[in-house]
Structure 1
Amino acid sequence: TNDGNKLIKTDGTERMWFLDAVTLNEISFIETYTNKRKAEKLNELEYVNGKIYANIWQQNSILIVNPVNGAIEGIANLKGLQEKANQKGDANVLNGIAYDKENDRLFVTGKKWPKVFEIELVKK
């Protein structure tokens, strides 16, 4: 993903790397943490309204990450979507996040899912 200036990637750990969009040189990185532990196995990333949305490999949740300090500011549990996609099994998990900035819409899908879902995240 990108923040409009830099590319953002993950290496599958708790780290997110910021790269120069032209040279692809690594500029910096952040480590993602809750108040208790690091968030490992980061997978799909999407930049949404100043935050990085990240899913954890083999899990049906999205982390909302502060791109400055790596703090996890929220967690969205999307487990119910796996059933709505009529998918079962460990390999059929959330694995796609897309943001339509122009219309402020968020979409998710998963491995082998035949459907894409438009979702709205609401604070609790």
Structure 2
Amino acid sequence: MRQLQIGDKMYNVKQKGFNDFMRYSFSEVVELTKTLAVLKNGVRLINQPRTSFVEPIGYSVNKDKGTHWHLMTVDVIRKAQIENEKIAIHDWFEQKTFSLEEKRAIYKAFKISATEKIAALEAIK
């Protein structure tokens, strides 16, 4: 467990209830004091590693010890991309009003058999 250094990439993940999506925030350490690490987005972290719910090591937000930021990894970036795609899909379906023809096309797309799907994909190529 090490203290943060300038240039460290950090992330935070939040979820509002069990049915909500995981929402990722990213930032970078730009300034250090004796006890704090300041992120580019203005968040001030206590520069002392602690145990967190998300990762084994987290850094508490100053004056909000229940919120932690963590060192970023490639796996976290992948998870965030997948989660952001889920959010975009959900938002698109929430905002979209489908006509009967669109509903019919979606229904038919899900109803066709596997062999018809393969034939349709080959026809597109």
Q: TM-score over 0.5 for the alignment? A: no
Question: Higher strand share goes to which structure?
Answer: 1
Question: Higher helix share goes to which structure?
Answer: 2
Normalised to the residue count of structure 1, the TM-score between the two structures is 0.21
Larger radius of gyration: 2
Normalised to the residue count of structure 2, the TM-score between the two structures is 0.21
Tell which has more relative contact order, 1 or 2 (C-alpha 8 A, sep 6+).
Answer: 2
